[in-house]
Amino acid sequence: MADKVSKELEQVETIQKQISDALAEIEKIRNDQIKLTNPEELEQAERLIIKTTDKLAGLMTGLKIQQAVASDDLSEKASQLAKALPNKLKSQGVRKVSVQTSRGEPVEIATKYYSRKKKRKKKKK
């Protein structure tokens, strides 16, 4: 259990660092003097702003997902669901999975991962 919590909290810190980096990129764009002398330069500047703010939006959403996954309440509900299914599932421990939010790049989330139990082949005597 401590391993699960530490991996999930470690991922929260990783995402927090990525958010800080994205905010620094936004701050740089805000402070840079960009010459806009034609429509192409304006379009290029706009694309850069949209890409950077979308990245921040994706990371912020990913952070909220990671925090929810790390919560005791959601963890307990996931465990109950896995036990209630007709086909038994086996916990594979905490793994990183990629989540694509509606904005920005995919974000890695550390969460408990379940898989189907393998059926054992019966030996014939």
Q: Which residues pair with 115 in a beta bridge?
A: 90
> For residue range 67-106, what is the model confidence (pLDDT) as tens digits?
999 888 888 888 888 888 888 888 888 999 999 999 889 9
Residues 6+ apart with CB under 8 A from 57: 101, 103, 104
pLDDT at 90: 84
Confidence of residue 116 (pLDDT cuts 50, 70, 90): confident
For residues 8 and 70, is the Cβ–Cβ distance under 8 A?
Answer: yes
- Which whole number is the average pLDDT over 39-67? 96
> For residue range 57-69, what is the model confidence (pLDDT) as tens digits?
999 999 999 999 9
Is the pLDDT confidence value at 55 over 80?
yes
pLDDT at 96: 94
